[in-house]
């Protein structure tokens, strides 16, 4: 059974750096075709894809966040980290960790974690 769970701070101040961890089970990020990534959703707004990293280390980021966003994987720990620098109130959102197999959609989602950016 595939599960993903996000963890990290729920409140960060403007200009601070956000680090979220996705801990997953039921699959390995070293298995061919597997990808894990992040999607966020501001309160009351639409989903926004942020980034994905694949089993072969191929990674892709949302263009507008590329200078602030880093995603790293630790295959041995079954974890994926998201780092977003210089946080702003517009980054307030629920952040979801997601799984996919090449060729398919985002087939498993974490429960999401709400991160609020406020002084």
Between 74 and 107, whose beta carbon lies closer to other proteins?
107
Structure tokens at 43: 């309160």
Query: Least distance from C-beta 13 to other proteins, angstroms?
Result: 26
Give the DSSP per-residue string, 53-99.
Answer: EETTS-EEE-GGGTTTEEEEEETTTTEEEEEE-S--GGG-EEEEEEE
Q: Which stretch binds other proteins (CB under 8 A): 9-17, 26-34, 68-76, 104-112?
A: 104-112
Instruction: Looking at residues 32 to 91 of the shown chain, list those that interact with other proteins (rule: CB under 8 A).
Output: 46-49, 52, 60-63
Residue 33 vs residues 54, 60, 89, 92: alpha-carbon distances, Å: 7, 15, 35, 31
Between 46 and 90, whose beta carbon lies closer to other proteins?
46
- Where does this chain bind other proteins (CB under 8 A)? 46-49, 52, 60-63, 96, 100, 103-107, 109-112
């Amino acid at each position: 059974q595939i599960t993903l769970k996000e963890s990290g701070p729920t409140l960060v101040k403007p200009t601070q750096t956000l680090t979220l961890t996705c801990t997953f089970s039921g699959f390995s990020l070293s298995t061919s075709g597997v990808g894990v990534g992040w999607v966020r959703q501001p309160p009351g707004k639409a989903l926004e894809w942020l980034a994905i990293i694949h089993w072969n280390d191929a990674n892709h980021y949302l263009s507008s966040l590329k200078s602030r966003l880093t995603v790293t994987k630790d295959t041995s720990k079954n974890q994926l980290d998201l780092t977003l620098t210089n946080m702003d109130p517009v980054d307030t959102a629920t952040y979801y960790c997601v799984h996919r197999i090449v060729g398919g959609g985002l087939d498993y989602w974490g429960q999401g974690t709400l991160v609020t950016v406020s002084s």
